[in-house]
Amino acid sequence: MMKWHTLQVNAILKKYLFETDLLYGKTASETLKLIQQHKHQ
């Protein structure tokens, strides 16, 4: 029972970290684009 619970928690954490990573990666790339646009003006 304990082992299954640990596997569940690990799966949830991995999913959360993966989605957070995607979100931050997208935000970071969009922020970089904005900075680059400001430099060109």
pLDDT at site 4? 72
pLDDT at site 39? 82
Model confidence over 1-41: pLDDT tens digits? 667 788 899 999 999 999 999 999 999 999 999 989 988 77
And the tokens for 30?
Answer: 């969009």
pLDDT at site 5? 84
DSSP-based helix, strand, coil % in the chain, nearest 5: 95, 0, 5
**C-alpha dist (Å) from residue 38 to 15, 19, 25, 35:** 35, 29, 20, 5
pTM of the model: 0.50
pLDDT at site 2? 67
